[in-house]
Amino acid sequence: MMNAHTQPRDHWPVVGHGWAVAQLRRSLAHGRVRHAYLITGPASVGKTTLARAFAQALNCVGDRPPCGACRPCRLIGQDVHPDVPIVQAEREGGALKIDQVRELQQSLALRPVEGRFRVPILLRFHEATPAAQDALLKTLEEPPPHVVMILTADRADALLPTITSRCQLLLLRALSFDETHRGLQETFGVPPEAADRLARLSGGRIGWAVRAAQDPALLEARAAALDQLEAILRADRVARFRYAAEVAKQPAALRDMLTLWQTYWRDVVLLASGSGVALVNIDRLPALQAVAAHIGPERAADGLEAVSGALERLAQNANTRLTVEVLMLDLPEVATGRLEAASL
């Protein structure tokens, strides 16, 4: 009888998302590869990694694609394969422009340089301007036979419906604690104790956990961002608006920060509703408990909704400053004494 231990381990270089890997493997095995895929999910959850692995599997010349060792696999792993161009906004939070799409389209008309398929990977496609999205439609409607396009985005509804309807959707979710924990140890060699801590703090965003394992500054930035949130909860409207003006100047950092704040509010909701589910920001327990006790389950849900709503609007290219100002108005106030006492 087969059990989990006798089955061959999946060799795709992807932590978690087993169902998505299985789906892509099946389409490869049965020769039913689609012309376009859209991978969505929270930041740092593994969207780009999955896209790269699929591009490797499509062009691998080894025995078990993606073998990771053949020339195509290696070049794709380093983002330098001529048939697997990476197209993205010049910086995170910027705009992917129509000229970039046009330039890509010219190259797609030609046969692959050395691979079987041309597999352009268009990262954070929610940052594409409407004109750029519109331009890509032409290729999605009449894709050249040797082209497989992979798009990534925070959310599918941030793209034109005409784009998403022409793509095979792969909706990635945050990994479980166990998946993150195991991945950190087995794939990235993080020692057990650090893996435990980072798996919890990451909230299932493996990419963040890996970067934090290599760069302690990320943990400091996380602590600072949560200090900031707790300061805002105590602050009056004037101070909150001053903060909004400041933070709106760094749109790229903003998305990461709000994703973190979302985990904080989810913890507050869990505590306020008396749920026994494991918390993410366990190192902040006293402050989380103070906030939960003070505002109760309903306003805790409002807080979570405010942060999630802001992330959603930013993914749809709403005005950054306005979005943060609305968020500042929507976040509940917490009486000073309680939160300060908790952080002492």
Q: At 224, which amino acid appears?
A: A
Site of interaction with Zn ion (CB under 5 A)? 60, 62, 67, 70, 73
Residue 62 or 207 with smaller CB distance to Zn ion: 62
* Least distance (Å) between residue 11 CB and Zn ion: 10
* Least distance (Å) between residue 67 CB and Zn ion: 3
CB 35 within 8 A of CB 108: no
| Dist CA 201 CA 195 (whole Å) | 10
* Least distance (Å) between residue 123 CB and Zn ion: 22
Residue 28 or 67 with smaller CB distance to Zn ion: 67
Both structure tokens of 327: 């968020």
CB 36 within 8 A of CB 149: yes
Crossing angle of helices 177-186 and 206-214, in 10° steps, is 40
Both structure tokens of 97: 């422009």
Tokens 């801590």 belong to which residue? Answer: 197
* Least distance (Å) between residue 162 CB and Zn ion: 34
* Least distance (Å) between residue 283 CB and Zn ion: 41
| Dist CA 318 CA 205 (whole Å) | 24
CA dihedral 28, 206, 256, 267 (to 10 degrees): 120
